Structure 1
Amino acid sequence: MSFRKRNVVIGTANNTSALPAAREGKSLAVGVRPSPLDGRLTTSTGTSSLDQLLAGHGGLPLGTSLLVQEAGTTDFGGTLLRYYAAEGLVQGHQVHVLGYGDTWRKELPGLETGKGKSKSSVQKGSTATDDKMKIAWRYETLGNSSKRPGPAKESSPSSLPNLGEHPFCHSFDLTRRLESTEIKGQVHTTLVNDSFGKATASPLRKFLAELSSKVQSMGPNTVHRVVCPGLLSPTLYTPSARRPREVLQFIHGLRALLRRYPTQLTAIVTMPITLFARSAGLTRWLEVLFDGVFELVPLQHQSQMALEPGKEDKSQGLLRVHSLPIFHEKGGGLEGSWVREDLSFKLSASSGLVITPYSLPPVGEEDEASGAANTPDDKKEKLEF
C-alpha cells in the first residue's frame, strides 16, 4: 500500500513546474505588461491617470479601442491622442494616423527633462503645509489619486520579463517637441482628402488594408497604435467619407482587426459630439462598436492649457465615463476605480492631462477671493495689521 500526502493534488506537480518555465521563456514587447487583474497584456496611453481609470488594468488592454467624445471647440482629445502617439514612438511601437500627414508628428510633446523647474514650483512646495490647514482632510487625499497604481504581488517587476528595463509610462512636456533621437518607432499616415480637397478612392478602406498588411508583415512582437483624430470632422472628411455606411464599415473593420490581433493592436479615436450628438443614430452605433467611451465636457471659463503655476490646480472640464474595456461579467476591477464618482480633468504644460475626482473648493476660499476682488484698495489698507 502506497502512501501519499493528503494535501497534494494528484498531477499538479508537473503543471506547476512547467508554468514558471514557460512564463520566463516568453518575452514581452517593450511598453507592454500583463494586467494585475487577469494577466491580459496592456500598454500605456501616455497618461498615467487614464491608465488607472481603465477598469483597474493599469493600462489600455491590447485588442481594445477607446472613443473620446468632446463638446465645444477645444482640443483636449487631440492632446490626449498626442500623448498616446508619443508614448508609442518612445516605446518603439508603430503609430498609424488617419486624416493627417507627416506634419502631425512634429506636434507631439517631448520627453520631460526635469531641468525646467521654476522657483515658483519650489515656493509652492514649501507652502504646501500652509495650504493643508485650509483644506479638509477629505480633499487632501484626492491629490494622490492621479498616481499610477502599482502592480500586484503576483505580477511584480521582478517576476515578469521586460518590466524593469523600460518605464511603462513616460512623462512628457507640452512646451517641448519630440526629437528624432527620442523616437524608436515609426509613423504611418493616411490622408482622407488630397491637396485639392477631393476624396481619394475609399480612403477608409485603404487605411484598413494598409494597417492589416503592416501588422501581418511586422511579426507578432510588434505593437501597433491606431490614432484617428477628429472622426467625421468636416475639416478632414468630405461628405462622401462621412456617410454612415462608410463610417460604420470602417469601424466594423477596425474592430475585426482588433479581435484578430488581440496582442498587437490598440486604437483611440476622438469625435466632436457638438456636430454629432449622442442622441443621433450614427453616434449610438459607434458607441456600441467601441470597447470604451469617454466624454470630455470643457468648462467655458477655463483656457486650453494652464501655463501659469497658480492655475494648474483648477479643473478645466468634466469627464464622463460611459463604458470601459471589461472582459468578464464581474466587471474587471470596477469596484476599485473612479467610475462611480464625478471626474474632472486639468491640462498643464508640466503635468499633462490629469484626471482626478471632481470636488468643489472650500467655501472659505471662494468667499475670500470674491471679497478681495470687490474690496477697494483704501479699505484693504485699513484692514491690514
Structure 2
Amino acid sequence: MSFRKRSVVVSQPGIIAAVSKDEKVAVPGVRPSPLDGRATISTGTRSLDGLLAGHAGLALGTSLLIEESGTTDFGGVLLRYYAAEGVVQGHHIHCLGVSEAWARELPGVAAAGGKSSRSEEKKPVDDKMKIAWRYERLGEFGVGAARERGAPHTSNSSGSATPIFCHDFDLSKRLTLPSTAQLHFTATQTGSILDSSDDPTNSPFTKFISQLSTILSSSPNYIHRVIIPTILSPALYPCNSSQPAILLQFLHGLRALLRKYPSQLTAMITLPLTLHPRNTGLTRWMELLSDGVLELAPFPSTAISAKTAPGASAMHEEPPQGMLQVHRLPIFHEKGGGGGEASGFGDDLAFALSRRKGLVIKPFSLPPVEGDAEAQGGRPDSASAKATKFDIEY
C-alpha cells in the first residue's frame, strides 16, 4: 500500500517539473529586503545601500533625489555607479538630457581577487583555532567583507554560484558596454528664451515620459533604471523646464509610472542647489514628489587638510570630502525602517571618494586637536597623568 503526503497535489509529472523550473528563475540584480521582503536593487555603492532605511538597497518603485551644493559633481559619480551596476546586471538604462558619450565614462568593474585573497591562499591549512572544534570555521576580522567584494561564491547546497548584488568599480577604468546593453538616451529640446512659455504642451519632458511608458509596457520582465543628471541645469535643459507647471507635471508623471510599475522601475535624480536652493518653493515640491532625499555638502578646497588622523594612516582611510545629510529615506517599515544605529540615520555622516573604494559614507568624527598630546598618542604631562590614574581606579 502506497502512501502520499496530503500537501502534495496529484497532477501530471511534466506540469510539476515545469512549475518548479519557473519558480527557480530569478531576476538578476534583485534580492528581497531583510525587513519586509520587498524587491530591492543596488545603487552600485555599498555604503549608500546600507543607508536606505535598512533595506540594504533601493526598493523597486521608488525614486531618490540627490541634492548637491557647490561646483563639484559627487552626485554625478553616484549616478555613474548606479548606471554601471545596471549595465552589469542587464537592466534597461534610461538617461535624460545627456548623450551617448555619458555612457562611455562609466567606471569599469574592479578586478576580483586582490592581495587579500592571495594571502588567504598562501596561509597554511594547519593554522586553525585551537579553542574548540565549533570555532574552526570562524574567520578573521574583515575577511567576510573582502570575500563579498570578490567573485561570486557558492552558498547553495546544490553548489550553484550566488550572483553578486553590488559590484565594485574602479574609477580609473572604463566599463566595456556589451552588445546586449539596453541604453536609451533622450535629449531635451533646447530653445531660445523667447520660445519659453508656461504651456505644459511645450514641455521638454513629454517625449521622455511617453517613451518610458512604452518601453515599460513592452518589457515587463526587465528592471528599468531612470537617470536624470543635474535636472534644471541650463546646460542640459531649456529655459522653460524650470517653470512649475512643466516640471511638476513631469515629476507627477514619473511618480505615476513608479507606482504603476512597482516591480520594474527605479529613478535617481541629481539637483544643483546652487541654482535652486532648498528655501525655494520649486525645490520643496521636488522633495515632496521624491521618495528619498539626500543632500551632499562638499567641503571647500581650503578646508580639506592634507593631514589625517594618526590612526587613519594605518587603515588607509581617505579624509572626508564633505558632509551628507539625510532629509528623507524611501519606504520606512512599521518596525522602524532600519534607522538609527542600523543605518546611521540621524548621525553626522561624511563621504569620501577614492579611486578603488568609490564613494564611502561613514560617520563623521573630528580629528584630535594638535595641542592635545593625550589624544595624539603623545606623553601627557604629570598633572594629567595623575588625574587619569585616579579616574581609572575603582
| TM bracket (short chain) | 0.7 to 0.9
Do structure 1's residue 325 and structure 2's residue 325 form an aligned pair?
Answer: no
CA distance in structure 2 between the partners assigned to 1:340 and 1:316 by the alignment: 19
Residue 327 (structure 1) shift: 4.3
> CA-to-partner distance for each residue in 1:276-331, whole Å, 9 max, x for gaps?
11111011111111110000000002799x9xx97852000000000001244443
Residue 177 (structure 1) shift: 0.7
Residue 350 (structure 1) shift: 0.9
Partner of 2:167: 170
Do 2:91 and 2:223's aligned partners in 1 also have CA atoms closer than 8 Å?
A: yes
CA distance in structure 2 between the partners assigned to 1:362 and 1:65 by the alignment: 39
Q: Unaligned 5+ residue runs, structure 1? A: 1-11, 16-20, 123-142, 151-155, 371-385
CA distance in structure 1 between the partners assigned to 2:274 and 2:64 by the alignment: 18
SS of alignment partner, residue 180 of structure 1:
coil
CA distance in structure 2 between the partners assigned to 1:115 and 1:55 by the alignment: 31
Q: Note closer, same or farther for the CA distance 1:64–1:366 as it changes in structure 2 (3 Å cut).
A: farther
Do 2:318 and 2:354's aligned partners in 1 also have CA atoms closer than 8 Å?
A: no
Q: Note closer, same or farther for the CA distance 1:278–1:185 as it changes in structure 2 (3 Å cut).
A: same
Residue 116 (structure 1) shift: 8.9
- The one-letter code matched in structure 1 to 2:72 is T
> CA-to-partner distance for each residue in 1:215-272, whole Å, 9 max, x for gaps?
1101x22000000000111111111122111110111110010000011000000000
Q: Determine which of 98, 105, 108 is the counterpart of 1:107.
A: 105
Do structure 1's residue 206 and structure 2's residue 212 form an aligned pair?
Answer: no
Matches within 5 A, 1:92-171: 92-113=90-111, 158=156, 164-171=161-168
Matches within 5 A, 1:211-360: 211-218=212-219, 220-301=220-301, 313-335=318-340, 336-360=342-366
CA distance in structure 2 between the partners assigned to 1:365 and 1:165 by the alignment: 52
CA distance in structure 1 between the partners assigned to 2:165 and 2:98 by the alignment: 27
Partner of 2:138: none
Q: Note closer, same or farther for the CA distance 1:365–1:28 as it changes in structure 2 (3 Å cut).
A: farther
Partner of 2:382: none
Residue 364 (structure 1) shift: 5.0
> CA-to-partner distance for each residue in 1:74-104, whole Å, 9 max, x for gaps?
0000000000000000100000000001111
- The one-letter code matched in structure 1 to 2:36 is D
Do 1:89 and 1:184's aligned partners in 2 also have CA atoms closer than 8 Å?
A: no
CA distance in structure 2 between the partners assigned to 1:23 and 1:357 by the alignment: 45
Residue 202 (structure 1) shift: 3.0
Normalising by the residue count of structure 2, what TM-score does the alignment of the two structures yield?
Answer: 0.71
Partner of 1:9: none
Matches within 5 A, 1:25-64: 25=23, 27-64=25-62
Normalising by the residue count of structure 1, what TM-score does the alignment of the two structures yield?
Answer: 0.73
Residue 35 (structure 1) shift: 0.5
Q: Note closer, same or farther for the CA distance 1:302–1:36 as it changes in structure 2 (3 Å cut).
A: farther
CA distance in structure 1 between the partners assigned to 2:188 and 2:371 by the alignment: 50
Residue 211 (structure 1) shift: 0.4
Partner of 1:138: none
Partner of 2:84: 86
CA distance in structure 2 between the partners assigned to 1:196 and 1:172 by the alignment: 40
CA distance in structure 1 between the partners assigned to 2:228 and 2:155 by the alignment: 32
Do 1:98 and 1:189's aligned partners in 2 also have CA atoms closer than 8 Å?
A: yes
- The one-letter code matched in structure 2 to 1:47 is T
Q: Unaligned 5+ residue runs, structure 2? A: 1-5, 10-18, 120-140, 149-153, 307-311, 377-394
- More helix by percentage: 1
Residue 340 (structure 1) shift: 1.9
Q: Note closer, same or farther for the CA distance 1:90–1:283 as it changes in structure 2 (3 Å cut).
A: same
SS of alignment partner, residue 241 of structure 1:
helix
- The one-letter code matched in structure 1 to 2:365 is S
CA distance in structure 1 between the partners assigned to 2:301 and 2:53 by the alignment: 31
Do 2:190 and 2:237's aligned partners in 1 also have CA atoms closer than 8 Å?
A: no
Do 1:312 and 1:348's aligned partners in 2 also have CA atoms closer than 8 Å?
A: no
Q: Runs of 4 or more off by more than 6 Å in structure 1?
A: 12-15, 21-24, 195-200, 365-368
Identity %: 52
Partner of 1:192: 188
Do 1:93 and 1:223's aligned partners in 2 also have CA atoms closer than 8 Å?
A: yes
Matches within 5 A, 1:5-20: none
Question: Pairwise CA RMSD of aligned residues?
Answer: 3.7
SS of alignment partner, residue 169 of structure 1:
coil
How many residue pairs were aligned? 317
> CA-to-partner distance for each residue in 1:168-204, whole Å, 9 max, x for gaps?
00010001111134x7531100111359998895330
